Structure 1
Amino acid sequence: MGGRINGGGGAMDVYLPRSNGDVDDDGKERRTGTVWTATAHIITAVIGSGVLSLAWAMAQLGWVAGPVTLLLFAAITYYTCGLLADCYRVGDPATGKRNYTYTEAVKSYLGGWHVWFCGFCQYVNMFGTGIGYTITASISAAAINKSNCFHWRGHGTDCSQNTSTYIIGFGVVQVIFCQLPNFHKLWWLSIIAAVMSFSYAAIAVGLSLAQTISGPLGKTTMTGTQVGVDVDNVQKIWMTFQALGNVAFAYSYAIILIEIQDTLRSPPAEHITMRQATMVSISTTTGFYMLCGCLGYSAFGNGAPGNILTGFGFYEPYWLVDLANVCIVVHLVGGFQVFCQPLFAAVEGGMARRCPGLAADRGGVNVFRMVWRTAFVAVITLLAILMPFFNSILGILGSIAFWPLTVFFPVEMYIRQRQLPRFSTKWAALQSLSFVCFLVTLAACAASVQGVLDSLKTYVPFKTRT
C-alpha cells in the first residue's frame, strides 16, 4: 500500500510506499520515514513551476529587496511550519492522538468555522492551481514551436503563437486522463514529477549562468525596475506587490506538511524529525531559489521575462530550451491530475453520501464522475483561455496559500495548543506576525488581480498571439 501526500505550491502529489511489518500505535502499518525521506519529499513538492518566475520577481525588487524577500519568506515558512509540526499530535507530542491531514489538525485544535475556512482555502487553492498548471503547460508547449521557429527562421522572425489552441489541447488531454480509474494510485508519477522539476529548474539555472558569463542582456540595479525608465510610479508599486505573491507561491508547501509528517517513524517524536527535515529542505530550496532568481536577474536585468524559459531571452541551444519546456509539459500533465484528486474525492464522496444511486457505477461506467470531471476541466480550460497571464495567476495563488495555510492556521493552532494567555508577549508577537503576513497577502492578491485586469485590456481570447 502507499500513502498519499497532497502537493502544494511547488509541484504535485507525492506517493510514499509503505513497507509491511509491525503496526504503529494507531493500528496502521509501521511508518518508516526518516528526516532524509521527509526532506526529499518536501523539496520535490516545493520546487516546481514557481521557480520560473523568480528572475522576474527579482527584477521588480532589485539586488537588495530581492534576496532579502527570499530569505524572509524562507524564515517565516520555516518558523510557522515548525509550529504546524508541533500540532501533528493532540496532547502528548510522543503518544497523543495523530492528525492525518491538515484539515484534521485544524478540526482537532480549532474546530467550528476554522474547519470550513481551511477547507475553502485548500479547495480554492487546488482549483486555482489547476488553472495555473493549464496556463503554464500551454505556454511551454507554445514555446517549443517558437524556439524551433526562431532557430530555423531567425530571431527577428514573427514566431508568435496563439496559446488558446494549446490550452484547449491541454484541456482535451485532461478530460481523457480524468476518466482513468485509480489514477491517484499511480505512485510513479511522483518520481516523474521529481525528475521533471529538477530538470527544467536546473536547465534554467545553467542557461542563466551561461548568459551571465557570456554577456548580460540587460541592466540590473539595487532597487530593480526603475521609475521613469522601465515603469511609472503606480506600475512599480503593483509589480512589487505582485512579485511578493510570486515568491510566496514558490514557498507554498505547508498544506502537505502534516501528510508528510504522518509517514515518519518514531522515536524520536515526529515533530522533532519534521523540524529537522524542514530546516534542511528550506535551506536547500532557498539556495536553489537564490541561484535561479539571482542568476536569472543578472542574465536579463530589469527586463527579465515573467517565465524564464518561455520569455525568449534564451534562444540557443534551442534543443535545450525545447527539452526544458517538454519537461514542464510532462510534469504538469500528470501534476494537474494528481493535484486535483483530493477535490475530485471530496465532491464524489459527498455525492455518494447524499445521492448514492446517482453516483453509482452503471455497467462499469460512472456517469456522474464522467460528467462532473469533464465539466470541471472545461471550466478550468475556459478560465485559462480568458486569463492566460502567468505571473498574475501565480501571484494570486501564492497569496491564497500563504497567509491562511502557512501562517494563520499554524499560529492559531499553536496558541490553542500551548494555551498562551491573550495579550501575553508571545501571543502578541505571533498575532503581529500573522497580521503583517495578512497585509502582505492582501497587497499581493490585489496587485495580481490588478495585473489580470490590465492584461485583459489588450488581450482578446482566440485572437491575441504571444
Structure 2
Amino acid sequence: MVSERQQAAGKVAAFNLTEAGFGDGSDLLDDDGRERRTGTLVTASAHIITAVIGSSVLSLAWAIAQLGWVIGPVVLLAFSAITWFCSSLLADCYRAPPGPGQGKRNYTYGQAVRSYLGESKYRLCSLAQYVNLVGVTIGYTITTAISMGAIKRSNCFHSRGHGADCEASNTTNMIIFAGIQILLSQLPNFHKLWWLSIVAAVMSLAYSSIGLGLSIAKIAGGVHVKTSLTGAAVGVDVTAAEKVWKTFQSLGDIAFAYTYSNVLIEIQDTLRSSPPENVVMKKASFIGVSTTTAFYMLCGVLGYAAFGSDAPGNFLTGFGFYDPFWLIDVGNVCIAVHLVGAYQVFCQPIYQFVEAWARGRWPDCAFLHAELAVVAGSSFTASPFRLVWRTAYVVLTALVATVFPFFNDFLGLIGAVSFWPLTVYFPIQMYMAQAKTRRFSPAWTWMNVLSYACLFVSLLAAAGSVQGLVKDLKGYKPLFKVS
C-alpha cells in the first residue's frame, strides 16, 4: 500500500493545482493517490532498449566466434525468445491481481515477488538483485578502464605503427574512474542524475553503432577471414578443453546482453493506467526485445564476419580495428562516458538500501542522519555517513576490478549468475502462483522444464566464466601495466 505521506503529498499537489484554477485536481492522481503516470508504449519501449543495449554488445562478435554460424545465431534468438516470454509473464505480475484498478500496484520487482511468493522468496530475490548490481558496477569499472587505456594505445599505434609495444595501465584508469564515481556518489539521490542517464543512453547507441559501422567497412574492404559453421576450430584455434570452456563462457556473455528483467516492473510503473499496464508492457517488451535482438544479431554476426575466429573479446578495445584511429577513440570515449553514468544507475539502489537500513537500525545516531549544507542557501547537502560509506563502496569495487580486470570472463559470470533467477525463475514462479497453476499439469510441467533448462545453461556459463577467470589470473600481476 502507499504510505500516508505519499498520499498526502499527492493530495497537496492536487489541492494546489485546484487553487490555481486547474479543476478539482482528482484527475492528477492515480488510483493509489500517487501522481498520475504519463508513460506510453513508445516511452516504455525506449526504456527497455536503453536498459538492454550496453557494453555487452562489445563481446557478441567473440561469442559468435566461439559458437559458429549455426549455433551462435540460434543461441542469440533462443535467449531473446526466453527473455520476451518471461518478461510477458512478469508484466502480468505488476498488479495483484492484474488488470486496471484490480489490486495494488507493485512498484518494484522485489515488491512483486513479496506479493506473490512471500517474504522468504523476496529475500532470495533481493540477494540475487544486489549481487547482480554489485557485479555490474565491478564490470563497468573494468570496462571503463580498458576503454580509457585503448584510447592511449590507439594513438600510440597510429604514431608508432601497429607492431609497436604500446602499453596502458588499467590500474591508473580504474583509480581515475573511481575518483569520478566518488564525487558523483555524493549526490543525495538518483533524481539529481537524470541528465547523466540521458547522456549515457545516447553514448551506448553511439559506440554500438561505431562498432557496427567499422565491421561493415572491414567486410566491404574485401578482407578474408576464417569462419566456420561450428566456430573456433579444435586443434587449430583452440584445444578441445578450451573449446568447451569458451563455449560455456559465450553463453554467459549472451545472457548478460539480455538481463533487464530486474528493472521491468519499475519501467511498467511509469505507464498510464489505461489501457491496462500489463497489455502495454507486453507490447513494449516485444518491440524492445525485437529491436535489441536485431541490433545484437547485426553486431555479433557482422563482427564475426569481419574478424572470424580471431574476434577480440571487446571489438573496440581488442584492436581488430586500427583505423581510422580517431573513430576508435570516439567509440571508446563514448563507452567511458556511458559507463560513468551507468555505474550510478546500478549503484544507487545499493546506496539507498544500505542507508535506509542503517538509519532504521540506529534512528538516534547523529552521524547517520546529519545533513550539512555545502553552500549557504543551497539545496545541495553533504552527509558524513554518505561520504564514508559510498566512498568505501566505490573503493572496494575498484579493488576487486583491479584483481579481476578481465572483460569477457566477468561479463559472462554476471550474466550466468543473474539470468536464471531474475529473468526466468521468479517470473515463472510468480505467474504460476497468480494463475494458481496445478502441480504436474501441462503448463506447470513445461514451465518448470524451461526453468530447469535455463538453470542448467546458467550453471554451464558460470563454470566457463570461472574457469576463464582462474586461467587469466595465472601470471597476472595486479597494479602492473598491461598491453
TM-score normalised by structure 2 residue count: 0.91
TM-aligned CA deviation for residue 112 of structure 1: 2.8
Tell me which residue corresponds to 2:71.
65
Q: Residue 77 of structure 1 is aligned with which of 53, 77, 83?
A: 83
SS at match of 1:206: helix
Q: Distance in 2 between matches of 1:22 and 1:395?
A: 45
> CA contact under 8 A between 2:167 and 2:481: conserved in structure 1?
no
Gapped regions of structure 2 (runs ≥ 5): 1-24, 374-381
Q: Tell me which of 184, 194, 204 is aligned to 1:177.
A: 184
Alignment partner of 1:43 is 2:60: no
| 1:440 is aligned to 2:457 | yes
Equivalent in the alignment of 1:463: 480
Indicate how the Cα distance of structure 1 residues 20 and 60 shifts in structure 2: closer, same or farther if over 3 A, else same: farther
| Paired letter, 1:255 | N
Aligned to 1:230: 237
- 1:184 Cα deviation (Å)? 3.8
Is the Cα–Cα contact under 8 Å of residues 368 and 384 in structure 2 kept in the other structure? yes
In the other structure, the counterpart of 1:305 is 312
The answer to whether the 8 Å contact 2:89/2:427 transfers is yes
Alpha-carbon distance between aligned partners in 1 of 2:213 and 2:353, rounded to the nearest angstrom: 41
1:352 matched residue in structure 2? 359
Q: Say whether residues 1:361 and 2:370 are aligned partners.
A: yes
Q: C-alpha deviations, 1:290-331, integer Å up to 9, x for none?
A: 100001000000010000100001111111000000000011
Q: What SS does structure 2 have at the residue aligned with 1:179?
A: coil
- Counterpart residue identity of residue 35, structure 1: L
Cα distance in 1, alignment partners of residues 119 and 34 from structure 2: 28
How much does 1:182 deviate? 3.6
What's the counterpart of residue 55 of structure 1?
Answer: 61
CA positional deviation for 1:20: 11
Tell me by how many angstroms 1:97 deviates: 1.2
Instruction: Give the letter for the 1:67 counterpart.
Output: P
Residues 20, 29 of structure 1: 8 Å contact kept: no
Residues 142, 31 of structure 1: CA spacing in aligned structure 2 closer, same or farther, 3 A cutoff?
same
Corresponding residue SS for 1:186: helix
The offset of 1:430, in angstroms, is 0.4
Q: Give secondary structure in 1 for the equivalent of 2:368.
A: coil
Q: How big is the shift at 1:91?
A: 1.6
The alignment's TM-score, normalised by the length of structure 1, stands at 0.94
**Corresponding residue to 2:220 among 199, 213, 216:** 213
Decide whether the 8 Å contact of 1:20 with 1:30 is kept in 2: no
Query: What residue number does 2:413 align with?
Result: 396
Paired letter, 1:93: G
Structure 2 Cα separation of the partners of residues 228 and 259 of structure 1: 48
Aligned to 1:9: none
Instruction: Give % identity.
Output: 56
- Tell me which amino acid in the other structure corresponds to 1:246: D
- TM-superposed deviation, 1:378: 1.0
Task: Note if contact 1:392-1:452 (Cα within 8 Å) is conserved in structure 2.
Answer: yes
Distance 1:334 1:92, change over 3 A: closer
Q: Contact (CA 8 Å) 1:184, 1:341: kept in 2 or not?
A: no
| SS at 2:333 equivalent | helix
**Quick one: structure 1 residues 184 and 128, their matched pair in 2 at CA, closer, same or farther if it must change by over 3 Å?**
farther
Checking the alignment, whether the CA contact within 8 Å between 1:60 and 1:240 is kept in structure 2 is yes
Structure 2 distance, partners of 1:92, 1:460, is: 54
Distance in structure 2 (CA, Å) of the matches to 1:75 and 1:177: 37
**Aligned AA for 1:433?**
L
CA distance in 1, matches of 2:397, 2:419: 22
Partner secondary structure for residue 281 of structure 2: helix
- Post-superposition Cα deviations, 1:224-262, rounded to whole Å, max 9, x if no partner, equal 001000111111111001000000000111011101111
- Of 20-29 and 337-346, deviating more is 20-29
Q: Do the aligned partners of 2:197 and 2:341 also contact (CA within 8 Å) in 1?
A: no
Query: 1:92, CA displacement in angstroms?
Result: 4.3
Partner of 2:132: 125
Instruction: Please tell me whether the aligned partners of residues 216 and 298 of structure 1 are also in contact (alpha carbons under 8 angstroms).
Output: no
Q: Secondary structure of 1:75's partner?
A: helix
TM-superposed CA distance for 1:386, in Å, is: 0.4
Q: Which residue of 1 aligns with 2:471?
A: 454
> Within 5 A, what are the aligned runs for 1:221-260?
221-260=228-267
Deviation at 1:151, TM superposition (A): 0.7
Call closer, same or farther: CA 1:224–1:92 in 2, change over 3 Å: closer
The one-character-per-residue Cα deviations of 1:372-414 (angstroms, maximum 9, x if unpaired) are: 1111111111110000000000001101220000000000000
Distance 1:296 1:92 in 2: 42
Paired residue for 1:99, among 106, 118, 133?
106
Match for 2:370: what amino acid? D
List runs of 5+ in structure 1 lacking aligned partners. 1-18
1:215–1:462 Cα change, 3 Å: farther
* Equivalent residue in structure 2 for 1:88, among 88, 94, 100: 94
Q: Note the C-alpha offset of 1:266.
A: 2.7
